[in-house]
Structure formats: structure tokens, C-alpha cells
Amino acid sequence: MATVLPVYPTTRRNVELALVVLAVVIAGGAWAVTGLTVDGSLPPNLFAYAGGLGGLAVVLHLLLRWRARHADPLLLPVATLLNGIGLVMIHRLDLALDSSAASRQFTWSALGIVMAGAVLVLVRDHRVLRRYTWTAAVAGLVLLLLPLVPGLGRTVNGARIWIGVGPLSFQPGELAKICLAVFFAGYLVVHRDALSLTGRKVLFLQLPRARDLGPILLAWVASIGILVLQRDLGTSLLFFGLFVAVLYVSTERVSWIVLGLLMFSAAAVFAATTMGHVQARVDIWLHPFTAENRTGSSYQLVQGLFGMANGGLTGTGLGEGRPQTVPYANSDFIYSSLGEELGLVGLFAVLVLYVVLVERGLRTAIGVRDGFGKLLAAGLAFSVTLQVFVVVGGVTRVIPLTGLTMPFLAAGGSSLVSNWIVVALLLRVSDLARRPAAEVRNGPDGETGVTQAVRIA
């Protein structure tokens, strides 16, 4: 494992503070514009919301100064801005639909930021998480299976990925994503040599031993299980993609990717040809504009496309479009809602924010010295990528439409909270990655970050 010397001598906390303030100013300005356009007056709760979001972000910033002063300075402002943009669009759709999703979203934002702070306080060093590798595996599986529990699980739009207690509903898959990232990182950092050094070479591919195929088969079966039992393409793709990516990073073996892609393709083809709801998704994807589909099954997709086309290059302006025409405009299709009112320019800005978020995550993975941290940061960053790709790719017809949430933007508490936790974990790992070498203490397992004992399974 290569050692990378820290390249950032300063902590850049002041830059972070300035950017957080900027993010809040942008989101607050957008909130004000929406109110002025739709109602002709400044929204009465402008300062409560902008101040609330800004206040919470600044508290998290202060916490970083105290507990993780070397953490990457871009992650918090980017997450704050995305969260703010999402709140503005959800509020704007509230005005059109006479709903009240924004106040709920604001509550979840606050909870998410508090949870992020809690993670930063409780997890003083990410290497502690390695001890919970198998706990995370069990927790992840339990979370995934919860929606299947009779009486607890709820089926929404054909996908059984929700649990409900009273009026509250939650998508446990979102939290499972984090648990599984921890598990994959913990498991693979231990087994990487066994997985990478053994096995026969066929042509140019070094094939793994049959017994090492176990984990990938397990992950594959689990993904298929989600697809079949919960009818959720998005989560299935997310987990399997996450696993293959982390597997590749840990073993550096292209054969894993080839195998993974083959297996996923086989499953996808099987699903697309035999499972009714998957077939329907594929049909919508390929032929959205047929007269029959347009008013029926592909109505949502087509309306989203019409909305984006209506926005064009510069958008209609906040409050001037008709994003509410699209079903689930504030959750599944918030990307097209933003596209309609902010235009191509606005969506590029949003995509760039995600690129920055992911890039900082991968930079953290490259910078951090311990293998577990590398895999964890890479896994988390890649999961954000996959999630954005699946959602935006679905809305823009790159791939069939599946049900995942747009990180930080989409209305939905479980997604918001879990993504704030993802950012907290990335912040935690980046703190160690960017800490000057002299300050790096030995890890909780006696790791120095430079060498480590490897157990061969």
C-alpha cells in the first residue's frame, strides 16, 4: 500500500466557514426569489429557514474545528448547498401543490445535521468502525429485510422498501447502504490478498478460486433478492455496484469487475425478460412517447422530459415553470423540477456539486493511509455516484427509471439523514487523511497506517 504524504498543510476551516455562509446565502436568495415570484412578497419564514439551516451548518462547522480540524473543507458547504437547493424546490412545489413537505424536510435536515455531528463526536477515529465489520453486516441485512416484516413493511408504488410506524415512514435501505459500506470495507481489507493473489489465470483474466467466489456470489444473490422480493431495481443496482467497486479497489483485479458485470448483466437480462414490472420499466425506457405509454405508464417520465425541455438552457425561473405537473416532482423527479426552473445551467451547477462531493471523497480515499479508510471512503463516495447516476440516468433516459433518491435534494427523511451520516464519515476519514504525518497516532488496532498485518483467509 502506497503512503501518501499530506499535501494540505493548513486546515482551511475559515474557507469552509465562508463557503457555508455563501451556500446559505444562495439557498436563502433562491427561497426569497421563489416567494417573490409566486406570492409577490418575501416568504415570512425566510429567516427562520435560512437562519436555521445556516445555524445548524455553522454548528457542525464549529464541531469540525473542535473534533476534526483537518477535515476536508468542501464537503460541508457542498452538502449544505445541496440540502438548501432541495429545500427551496420542495417549498416551491409546496406552493404549487398546497402541500407541506418543506417543513418536514427541514426537520429531517436538522436531524440529519445533528446525526452528522453525533457521528463526528462518537466516532473519534474511523478505524474504530473496523471492529464492527460483522455487526454492520448483520445490521445492514436486518435493515434491508425489515420492509418484508408483515405489519411493519409498506409497499409504495410497487416497491416494498418502506417501513412504517404510525404516521412515520422510513426507508431502511438508505441506512443499510452505510452499514454495508462499512462491512465491505472491513471484510475486504482483511481478505484482499487472498482474493487478489490466488486463483488460476485464464487468458488475461486471473480468475478467483471457487471458495473466494463466495462473497461475490452472496452479494449477487442478496441484490437479486432485493430485486425479486422488494421489487426495487435501484437499491439492487446500488448494492451490487458498491460491492464490485470496493472489491476492485481492494484487489486491483479487473477479473472481479468482468465477473461482476457478467453476473449483473445476466440477472438484468433475466429480470427484463421474465419479471413483469422490470419488463414494464424497460418498455417505458425504450418507448416513452408512444401514444399509449405517454398518457399511461410513461406519463411521469415524459412529463419530466417535457419539463426539462421547457426549462431549456436557462430555465423558466423559480416559480415560473410547471414542475408540479410531474408526479413525485419533489422526490423521484426533483432533478427535472430543478431542470425546468433553473435550466441546463442550473442542472450543470447541481451536477458539479455532486462531482465535487464525490471527488473530495475519492481524494480522501487516496489520501488516507489505512486500507479500511480507503475502502470506506471510496465505497461511500462511489455509492453517492451510483445513486446520482441511477436517479439522473433514469430521469434523463440513460438507463431505465428506478426508484432511488437524489442525495440531499429529494424530499425524504431517511435519505437525508443517511446522506448527512455519509458526509460525516467522509469528514472523519478526511480528517485523518489530511492530518500532518507527525500528528497521526497509531490506530485503535495498533495500525500505524503504513504497514499492517494481513491475515490470509
Partner 1 sequence: MNRPLRRLSLVVAFLFFALFASTTWIQFISAGRLNAMPGNSRQLYAEFGRERGAILVQGGAAVATSEGVQDPYEFQRTYPAGPLYAPVTGYYSLRYGTAGIERAENDVLSGSADELFYRNLSSLLTGEKPQGADVTLTLQPRVQQAAWDALDGRKGAVVALDPETGDVLAMVSSPSYDPNTLASHDGAVQEQAWDRLTGDEDDPLVNRATSALYPPGSTFKIVTAAAALESGDYTADTALKGPQELDLPQTSNTLKNDEGTACGPNDQVSLADALRISCNTAFGDLGLTLGADALQEQAAKFGFGQSLSIPTSVATSRYPTGDAVAGPLLAYSAIGQGSDVATPLQVAMISAAVANDGVVMKPNLVARVSEAGGSGSVIEQPSPQELGRAVSTGTARTLQQMMELVVSSGTGTRAQIDGATVGGKTGTAQHGVGLPPYAWFTSFAERGDKKVAVAVVIEDGGSTESAYGGRLSAPVAKTVMEAALDG
Task: Name the site residues for partner 1 (rule: CB under 8 A).
Answer: 1-2, 4, 245, 248-250, 252, 289, 294-295, 302, 305-313, 321-322, 325, 339, 343-344, 347-348, 351, 354-355, 358-359, 362, 365-366, 371, 374-375, 378, 381-382, 385-386, 388-389, 392-393, 396-398
Nearest approach in angstroms of CB 267 to partner 1 is 20
Least distance (Å) from partner 1 to the CB of residue 278?
21
In order of 93, 203, 407, the CA distances from 392 in angstroms are 19, 37, 11
Rounded to whole angstroms, how far apart are CA atoms 113 and 118? 9
C-alpha cell of residue 239: 448494492
Nearest Cα neighbor of 67 from 440, 431, 437, 423 is: 431
Cα angle 42, 44, 45; round to 5:
115
Note whether 380 and 425 are within 8 A (CB).
yes
CB nearer partner 1, residue 328 or residue 389:
389
Q: What's the min distance (Å) between Cβ of 347 and partner 1? A: 5
- Between 30 and 347, CB nearer to partner 1: 347
Please identify, using beta-carbon distances, which residue of 143 and 216 lies nearer to partner 1.
216
- The rounded distance, in Å, linking the Cα atoms of 295 and 395 is 17
Among the listed residues 411, 340, 318, 314, the one whose alpha carbon sits nearest the alpha carbon of residue 38: 318
The residue (of 275 and 356) whose beta carbon lies closer to partner 1 is 356
- Smallest gap from Cβ 286 to partner 1, in A, equals 15
Supply 292's cell numbers. 399509449
Question: In the complex, what is the shortest distance from the CB of residue 334 to partner 1, in angstroms, rounded to a whole number?
Answer: 14
> Is residue 102 within 8 Å of 90, Cβ to Cβ?
yes
Q: What minimum distance in Å lies between the beta carbon of 392 and partner 1? A: 5
Q: How far is the CB of 289 from partner 1 (least distance, A)?
A: 7
In the bound state with partner 1, the residue whose beta carbon lies nearer, of 176 and 326, is: 326
Calpha distance 34→41 (Å, rounded): 9
CB 430 within 8 A of CB 422: no
Question: Between residues 224 and 358, which has the closer beta carbon with respect to partner 1?
Answer: 358
Q: Which lies closer to partner 1 via its Cβ, residue 366 or residue 450?
A: 366
198's CB contacts (< 8 A; 6+ apart) are 208, 209, 212
